[in-house]
Amino acid sequence: MRTADTLIAELGLAPHPEGGHFREVYRSPLHVDVEGRGVRRDALTAIHFLLRTGECSRWHRVQADEVWHHAGGDAVELLLLDPAMEQCLRVPVGPVTQGHSAFHVVPAGWWQAARPLGAYSLCSCFVAPGFVFADFTLMTGAADRALLQRRWPALIELV
């Protein structure tokens, strides 16, 4: 059985700024104009993303839809906050043989965090329009942190 460290090496994964390990594996040669934003993006991007026990994907948001697909290991728990931070969803994504959904879509602009529910979770993440760091925000603002602390204090550890 492969370990998380073996997969990190075999897949050529590197540390991600939000936590965990990743490698981009696809960037579409097609481009789209993002309605209402006046920007052009690649149509789709895909990465491998791995979280080991004790690691997390810190609270962040992307200005594009993101599909998390379980690719191996244990399930991952996605934690989602709507843009107004009024509702919090916990969504396990993992093996369908264990009663989980194999994938989940995080809508553009939603806050998201993730943590493995076992030794490690390997996922494929697809972003459309394609991912660029200009559309990525880590939760670092004092107002967002304070709101999270008031409404969901147990989730502040993921900042």
Contact 113, 154 (CB under 8 A): no
Instruction: For the chain, 159 residues long, give each residue's pLDDT as a single digit of tens.
Output: 689 999 999 999 999 999 999 999 999 999 999 999 999 999 999 999 999 999 999 999 999 999 999 999 999 999 999 999 999 999 999 999 999 999 999 999 999 999 999 999 999 999 999 999 999 999 988 888 888 899 999 999 898
Distance CA 147, CA 85 (A): 8
Instruction: Tell me which residue of 152, 137, 125, 112 sits closest to 44, measured CA to CA.
Output: 125
The one-letter amino acid at 116: P
Phi–psi pair at 61, nearest 5 degrees: -140, 155
Tokens (6 digits) for 107: 């809508």
**How many Cβ atoms from other residues are within 10 Å of residue 7's Cβ?**
19
- Domains along the chain with CATH numbers: 4-158 (2.60.120.10)
Please provide the size of the chain in residues.
159
Tokens (6 digits) for 120: 């490690």
Strand (E) or helix (H) holding 148:
helix 142-151
